[in-house]
Amino acid sequence: MKNYRFHQDTITEVKERADIYDVISEHVVLKKRGKDYVGLCPFHEGATRWPLN
């Protein structure tokens, strides 16, 4: 996937240094479902769920 806003090295470094669960769980309640986590979509009202894996 090409990203024209940030250099690929910067994206790679952020992915290596940041725990996605920690970042998202600051804004969304996540519940463990099997090996993944599930939370309500922060962009839509209602019961729309999306997986975090």
| Count helices and strands in the chain by DSSP H and E runs | 2, 3
Q: What is the pLDDT of residue 41?
A: 83
Buried b (16+ CB within 10 A) or exposed e, 1-21: eeeeeeeeeeeeeeeeeeeee
Q: What is the pLDDT of residues 1-53, one digit of tens each?
A: 565 688 989 989 998 999 989 999 999 999 999 999 998 888 877 766 777 76
